[in-house]
Chains A and B, each alone.
Chain A
Amino acid sequence: GAGVSQSPRYKVAKRGQDVALRCDPISGHVSLFWYQQALGQGPEFLTYFQNEAQLDKSGLPSDRFFAERPEGSVSTLKIQRTQQEDSAVYLCASSALYRGHGYTFGSGTRLTVV
């Protein structure tokens, strides 16, 4: 596609519910990143994929967070047993292997846990 597509755009979850957030990167982009952005803060790194390999998941805040990219294109970020502190905007970004051209973000998923 022309850009990075994320769905859903908004998600309201009850505390304890599991959620799955989808990211469809730009076709051919090898690198895919997930970020979490709280209000008034910059994006905080969660995890990084190069093709289907998850090379870095050091930013995942707990073992309730899980991400996958099984075929090296679409990625899913799953949050189990959501808590109120998980409320944030979840951003996905992709880039070509040569990063001199920067990173393209999707519109994000705004997750509210009630």
Chain B
Amino acid sequence: RKEVEQDPGPFNVPEGATVAFNCTYSNSASQSFFWYRQDCRKEPKLLMSVYSSGNEDGRFTAQLNRASQYISLLIRDSKLSDSATYLCVVSGGGSYIPTFGRGTSLIVHP
């Protein structure tokens, strides 16, 4: 079982839709959680950190469920420019190493 698992998608949604991705992790002692965005042939860029109480940044909401060991990303009012791959990143719990999921592909169409 991989340490960080994501549904690769693609998620194909119309503009304006709300879409949610989940990511599960295996190390219950993990402490830091992030969502990264990666555009085609570009490097990953930090979208947002995920805090225990959940956090929001504009149209994006991230949540952490420690009991079930997953994090989620909700995107409201999807834009064409949201089309990208969303990578879940987990670190801590005795390791300095950030571990990436394989990413979830989102395609927003007109």
5 A-B pairs with CB atoms under 8 Å apart are A33-B98, A42-B102, A102-B49, A105-B43, A106-B43
* Total number of residue pairs linking A and B with CB closer than 8 Å: 56
Chain A nearest CB: distance from B52 CB in Å?
12
Residues of A within 8 A of B92 (CB): 99
Does A45 sit at the interface, judged by CB under 8 A? Answer: yes
Residues of B within 8 A of A40 (CB): 8, 102
Flag if B100 contacts A42 (CB, 8 Å).
Answer: yes
Q: Scan residues 51-103 of chain A and give those whose CB is less than 8 A from a CB of chain B.
A: 55-56, 91, 93, 99-103
C-beta contact mask, A3-30 vs B, less than 8 Å → 1, else 0? 0000000000000000000000000000
Flag if B46 contacts A103 (CB, 8 Å).
Answer: yes
- Residues of B at the A interface (CB closer than 8 Å) are 4, 6, 8, 32, 34, 36, 42-46, 49, 87, 89, 91-92, 96-103
Chain B CB within 10 Å — which of A31, A40, A102, A107 has the most? Answer: A102
Flag if B91 contacts A91 (CB, 8 Å).
Answer: no
Residues of B within 8 A of A56 (CB): 96-97
Flag if A45 contacts B44 (CB, 8 Å).
Answer: no
Chain B nearest CB: distance from A74 CB in Å?
18
Distance A50 CA – B97 CA, assembled complex (angstroms): 11
Flag if A33 contacts B97 (CB, 8 Å).
Answer: yes
Residues of B within 8 A of A43 (CB): 44, 87, 100
